[in-house]
Chains A and B, each alone.
Chain A
Amino acid sequence: MTYSPELLKGTLKTIILKLLADNRKMYGYEITQKVKELTQDKIQITEGALYPTLHALEAEKLVTTQSEFIGKRVRKYYSLSVSGKAKAREKVREFSDFLQTMLSLLDIKTKSV
């Protein structure tokens, strides 16, 4: 089962920031593969969602980039800036709190699930 894009849309920044916090630097394709691997293919980040979000994070100065030439093409590595590290912590904390609220709101018993 894969989750709907609507469900994932609001969490994409959090996912990317957390992945970059756990890994020193990553490039786009690597991020999509890592997410697939960690979620057993349940979450698949599309290119159409990933790259616009990475550009937005770069514009917000939350990530820094480093380019590496591979023959004629360029690979762009993303890593967290100082403010990005703080933002990653804040986003994960916020999401955790949100999850607790949703569990309570939807009356989901975590043990039975």
Chain B
Amino acid sequence: MAATGETPSEPQLEPTDDQTPPAIELPEALRAELDLLVRKYPDRRAALIPALHRCQEELGGWISPRTMEACAAYFGLEPVDVYGVVSFYPMFRLRPPGEHVVGVCRNLSCDLRGAPEIVAKVCEITGAPAGGTSPDGRFSVELLECQGACASAPMLDLDGIYHENLSEEDVERILGGLA
């Protein structure tokens, strides 16, 4: 959980490269999926967090203001309610990430087994600063809190897939093909 950037700044709420007016509708296929999701719960809003996960996966790896507006419309909520939820949960991104996202756990069990060296190696290979995105936009590096891989530390998460029991050589092998 918990991607923590090293130089926290206010989330960028206005996408600068997108001049199109807000779309209130979600893409049709996604909407159809959400229609199934809400049926799992006695109250529609309960599907909000799983729905935001699907939106983030399908709509650029982050939750843009327009996605928040579209979700608000879908769930019958105010956009600020959706923002309140999105901003509470570390897995939701308020800024677009790089093409690949590499998360490294730096909590205690991982730290004791060399997480700082893994972070340094990941930053070296990707050219991204810890908690930021590489200048070419290919990689974001997130520093994570405990991921439940304590007995197989250190670990990294590449685009949602765990890689565990890492050595620096493993990091080279895993990221080498992408960098």
Whether both chains belong to one complex is answered with no
Residues of B within 8 A of A (CB): none
Residues of A within 8 A of B (CB): none
